[in-house]
Amino acid sequence: MPSFLKNPADEAVVYALGPRDGYTSPLSTNLKPACPALVFGEDDFRLTPAHEHALNGVAQEVSPNKKTRLLIAGYAPPNLPQDHARALSDRRALAVRQRLIELGLEAANMQTVGFGNDFSPTGPSSAVVVIYRQN
Amino acid sequence: MNARTFLLLLTLAVCDGTRVEAGVLDTLRGWMGLGGKEESIQEPEKVMPRIRIGSFSGGTGASAQKALRKELLESREFFVAGADEKIDFTVEGSSIGGRVTGKLRDAKGKELFQRSYAAPGLDENLKALTDDVIYTITGRPGLATSRIVFVSDRSGKRQIYICDSDGGEVHQVTHDKFGAVAPSLSPDSSMIAFTSYRSGFPIIRLLDLNLGWERGVTDTPGSSFGSAFSPDGTHLSAVMSFIGNPEIFVSDLNTNTAACVSDSIGAPSGPSWHPDGRQIVFSNDEGDGPKLYIVEVPQKEGESSRLFRWRTGYHFCTDPEWSPDGRYIAFTTRKNGEWTVAIKPYPNGSVRVLQAGGAQHPSWSPNGHFITYVQHGELFVHDLRSGNRRSIVRGYGQITEPRWMR
């Protein structure tokens, strides 16, 4: 779990998103995921040890190449109220981005988006975050 | 004190004690998250104004008179009086070629208004006249010309549609490449704010329904969704996450500037304005399910605002919407594992479950007498006075996110 979510009283640095210019949406084209989709509990946005393990792997792989850009996209199950689903998926994507920043990735090279249940990712679960490579 | 007096005093004390105990129990149930007992919306006793439909001259006058009678009866705002009955108001006029001129007088014969309506159809003109009569007499907007927007996947993608308050005249209004969702109608029904996926990312756009132009409100990184017009139509509240955290922002539509009004570490969604434009209710999930919060909107730059949790007694609450008079908030909750539409008086009172069994996303009619919601992809209108409901749009794909004109 990112440190800023553990205790609201803790000092935390939240990095604003940089310009989205040049980023491609997974709705427009097929993008390659940087790792298997991170599956969340239906109503949860906290990162689990399994997520930490996967994100460590992404950080190790991506860190050496400073030009690698990632789009972190959150999705939510179809049974949730639509606006809550968007918020939940957005929060999940931002939690993943925050953890990757803490693991040393450049904040400027990561964008997030929450698709809620407006679109479904391929795969057995829709309560997921998918980290797409941009180049 | 004789035995009869003692018995009477004892009875009064017990009855009084029971009332107090019931109130305390309801309060405790609320604190414990159990919800209070259900109760219906109590409206003060009122006498319906009595209106007579006078003569309508002209070639389509007879048709106009008949159609106006139907509209006024269906509005349930008046007693439509016969020729010899006592009246408070008279409406009369003329109709030629579908155009209508209507005149409203009070019991003393004083003219309250005279207006002409020149839309292409007779029905459209009479709906406008009906709403003007209702507004002039009751001070509340009529529903004859009001509109409901909703999302449907009928075309294969989620797009925004609009219909009138009885489900007629359904039109698709967006044709965005990857879809459009989360619509909100401006108070005068002239504009729709919505989340567009045309670029592949969720951004908020405005569509002018009269002139046809469209423009972006946000094109910020991250996500933008959940837009809601302020009661005066000059501001838009929405969720945006470009600062690295999803927060509720209020955008000034004239200057295109935005200010953050929430302070969340969770997942805020579904903002809705109080009719005075000074408070916003929204849903926020801080990791233990979405709950309802209220934030005061700063009226001046630098003014601090209060943010507090508004307890409903339920653990999962989304899609809140304030009633037009500010006395109630409707919301979606989960009861026995099913989506349920509920209403709670603001600031205090007991929750009333309006519709269980999968009902979601309530939205109030402009006069506060009805609520629209979706249930299993169908669009319903629920009469809060009678408790009756009816399906107004069905078999039109999967319908979600209805919003009535505010």
CATH, residue A108: 3.30.1330.60
Strands of the sheet containing B399-404, edge to edge, are B171-172, B159-164, B147-152, B399-404
Cβ burial of A126 (10 Å; 0-12, 13-18, 19+) is buried
| CATH 3.40.50.10610 boundaries in chain B | 50-138
Which residues 6+ apart lie within 8 Å of B3 measured at CB? none
Looking at the DSSP bridge assignments, the partners of residue B101 are B94, B116
Tell me if B246 and A94 make a contact (CB, 8 A cut-off). yes
Chain A nearest C-alpha distance from B231 (Å) = 21
Q: What is the average per-residue pLDDT within A81-95?
A: 97
B192 in Cβ contact with B205 (< 8 Å): no
For residue B319, list chain A residues with Cβ-Cβ distance below 8 A: 81, 83-84
Q: What is the largest CA-CA distance in chain A?
A: 41
Q: Class assignment of domain B50-138?
A: alpha beta
User: How sure is the predictor about A112, in pLDDT bands with cuts at 50, 70 and 90?
Assistant: very high
Amino acid at B29: R
The parent domain of residue A120 ranges over 31-59+68-133
Q: Are A75 and A30 in contact (CB under 8 A)?
A: no
In-domain check, residue A118 = yes
Nearest alpha carbon to residue B147 among B386, B372, B328, B329: B372
> Does a structural domain hold residue A2?
no
Q: Is residue A88 part of a domain?
A: yes
Return d(Cα B400, Cα B396) in angstroms, integer.
11
Q: Is residue A90 a part of any domain in this protein?
A: yes
Q: Look over chain A and give the mean of its residue pLDDT values, rounded to a whole number.
A: 89
Question: pTM for the whole thing?
Answer: 0.85
Which of B150, B239, B241, B288 should be substituted to probe chain A, the one whose Cβ sees the most A Cβ atoms within 10 Å?
B241
- Is A45 within 8 Å of B267 when comparing Cβ atoms? yes
Highest CATH level, class, for B147-404: mainly beta
List, as one string, the DSSP characters of B354-395.
EE-SSEEEEEE-TTSSEEEEEETTEEEEEETTT--EEEEE-S
The predicted structure's pLDDT at residue B41: 57
**With an 8 Å Cβ cutoff, are B242 and A5 in contact?**
no
User: What per-residue confidence (pLDDT) applies to A120?
Assistant: 86
Predicted local confidence at residue A2, as pLDDT: 42
Residue A17 has pLDDT above 70, yes or no: yes
Q: Which two tokens stand for residue B320?
A: 């809140």
Question: Of B181, B242, B289, which has the smallest distance from its Cβ to A82's Cβ?
Answer: B181
Query: What integer pLDDT is reported at residue B406 of this predicted model?
Result: 65
For chain A, the straight-line distance linking the first and the last C-alpha, in angstroms and rounded, comes to 27
Number of domains in chain A: 1
CA distance B119 to chain A (A): 37
Of A26, A82, A88, the CB nearest to B285: A88
Residue B354: phi and psi, rounded to 5, are: -90, -45
CATH 2.120.10.30 residue ranges of chain B are: 147-404
Q: Taking residues A55-79, what's their average pLDDT?
A: 92
**Alpha helices (H) along B139-253:** none
Q: Which residue of B has its CA nearest to A107?
A: B244
Query: Containing H/E element for B274?
Result: none
Quote helix, strand, coil % in chain B, to nearest 5: 15, 40, 45
Neighbour-count burial for B168-180, b at 16+ CB within 10 Å, e otherwise: eebeeebebebbb
Mean pLDDT, residues A34-56: 93
Q: What is the pLDDT along chain B (406 residues), one digit of tens a residue?
A: 444 433 333 333 333 333 333 333 333 333 333 333 344 555 555 688 999 999 999 999 999 999 999 999 988 889 999 888 899 999 999 999 999 999 999 999 999 999 999 998 898 899 999 999 999 998 888 888 899 999 999 999 999 999 999 899 999 999 999 999 999 999 888 999 999 999 999 999 999 998 999 999 988 999 999 999 999 999 999 999 999 999 999 999 998 889 999 988 899 999 999 999 999 999 999 989 999 999 999 887 777 788 999 999 999 999 999 999 999 999 999 999 999 999 999 999 999 999 999 999 999 999 999 999 999 999 999 999 889 999 999 999 999 999 998 6
